[in-house]
Amino acid sequence: MRTPRAVSSSFLALSGFLLLVAVSVAATGYAASPGESSNGYGAAAGSNGGGHEGSYTVPPYQKPVDGLDERYYERSCPKMEEIVGTAVMKAVKADETLAASIIRLFFHDFAVGGVDGSVLVDVPGQSEKYAEASRTLRGFELIEEIKKEVEAKCRATVSCADILTAAARDAAFSAGAPYWSLKYGRRDRKDYSSAEAADRDVPMGGQRVTELVAFFETKGLNIQDLVALSGAHTIGRATCGSVRPGLCKRRKARTLDRQYGDFLQRKCRAGGDAAEPYVELDGETPTAFDNQYYKNLLHGKGLLDTDQALLADSRTAGFVKSFAYQKPQEFAHQFAKSMRRLGEAQVLTGNEGEVRRKCSAVNY
């Protein structure tokens, strides 16, 4: 597998057309990748899994911070990133919806106590995996398969938290997002978060902007991170169950585009025993990782209440407009930066936690 790094200029075929970007951010440790130059938080996600081509260079080394280091596995498991990246690219090629699903799985792990692999623990009816907030999470099997392969090469060395972090980066990259370098050294939680904790802590699409800002601030992230990470909704899907609660209210308030509202009303009409329908989070370019999500908000086409609310709040509206029109390439850079910050927030390192033998079970 090639290991992607900084991209000077390259092309990506997505959704039947060519996308071009030239985003050079290697100086900050984030490697740009193709995207167009023009995780709801509780939604089931999916993406297209587009590929990348081009020449790559290694980004500058980032010094260790809080026990995390880009060179953490340089001697102990030098093939770790290659193993993860190869598995993710193969899986996304087979099932294009997995890209956004892995990103969402990563966000859910972060939301409850930081990225510590807790969401992966499988204790029926008790662990975070069995929360209502986790009901439509996917990708557990892929992470477990990667862990098994890594263990075969580097026994008791690489944490599930680090594997999930790398997998989320590679999943985003496979969909057309920028590629960013990562620091490693996270440890897995020795026990697991409860289903109750997940239902309490994970944002599920009904929060006000003030609540989302407060949530991100408790994690050491800021408003710009909130808006940039919401841009992950440029790919993936949400269940109609996430859409219905605020649909009538938004139509009455005229904050929803009329034709788009009519479409959602038809798509998400309740009734029957059929499986809950899905709706694309970005109805314009649903398979392209681009800044169309923000343009949709400007035209009243945000799928979830929490999406459209970003434009209505003065603290977030400026970033929405900037990512949509004023500085379209800024989104690609900021998304990579914010994802990296998210993966470093409140993690266990050093003698804290453990390195699990299996991601689905704590060590005993």
What's the pLDDT score for residue 270? 64
Residue 116 assigned as binding residue:
yes
What is this structure's pTM?
Answer: 0.82
**101: nearest Cα among 148, 53, 164, 163:** 164
CATH assignment of the domain containing 43? 1.10.520.10
- Residue 208 forms part of a structural domain: no
- Residue 354 forms part of a structural domain: no
- Residue 313 forms part of a structural domain: yes
pLDDT 10s digit of each residue in the chain, 364 long?
444 433 333 323 323 322 222 233 333 344 433 222 223 343 334 444 333 333 323 344 444 457 899 999 999 999 999 999 999 999 999 999 899 999 999 999 999 999 999 999 999 999 999 999 999 999 999 999 999 999 999 999 999 999 999 999 999 999 999 899 999 999 999 999 999 999 999 988 778 999 999 999 999 999 999 999 999 999 999 999 888 888 888 887 788 999 999 999 999 986 544 578 899 999 999 988 899 999 999 999 999 999 999 999 999 999 999 999 987 788 989 999 999 999 999 999 999 999 999 999 999 8
- Residue 117 forms part of a structural domain: yes
Residues 194 and 61 in one domain: yes
72's CB contacts (< 8 A; 6+ apart) are 162, 183, 184, 185
Residue 128 assigned as binding residue:
yes
Residues 166 and 31 in one domain: yes
Residue 9 assigned as binding residue:
no
- Residue 269 forms part of a structural domain: yes
Residues 184 and 240 in one domain: no
Residues 21 and 138 in one domain: yes
Residue 355 assigned as binding residue:
no
Residues 238 and 157 in one domain: no
Residues 292 and 251 in one domain: yes
Residue 38 assigned as binding residue:
no
Residues 277 and 184 in one domain: no
What's the pLDDT score for residue 274? 57
How many Cβ atoms sit within 10 Å of the Cβ of residue 254? Answer: 10
Residues 36 and 139 in one domain: yes
What's the pLDDT score for residue 360? 98
- What does the CA dihedral 96, 40, 280, 265 come to, rounded to 10 degrees? 150
335's tokens: 């998304």
Residues 14 and 87 in one domain: yes
Residues 284 and 193 in one domain: no
Total count of domains within the chain = 2
Residue 66 assigned as binding residue:
no
In sequence order, what DSSP letters do the residues of 301-337 get, joined into one string? --SSHHHHHHHHSHHHHHHHHIIIII-HHHHHHHHHH
Residue 290 assigned as binding residue:
yes
Residues 19 and 73 in one domain: yes
**Domain that residue 55 falls in:** 6-202+340-344
108 is catalytic: yes
What's the pLDDT score for residue 247? 87
- Residue 214 forms part of a structural domain: no
- Residue 193 forms part of a structural domain: yes
In whole angstroms, give the CA distance from residue 10 to residue 19: 9
Strand extents, DSSP E, the chain:
6-7, 10-14, 17-21, 30-31, 56-57, 179-180, 237-239, 278-280
Say whether 219 sits in a helix, a strand or coil.
Answer: coil
- Residue 109 forms part of a structural domain: yes
What's the pLDDT score for residue 251? 82
What's the pLDDT score for residue 33? 34
Percentages helix, strand, coil for the chain (3-state, rounded to 5) are 45, 10, 45
What's the pLDDT score for residue 48? 40
Residue 233 assigned as binding residue:
yes
Residues 141 and 277 in one domain: no
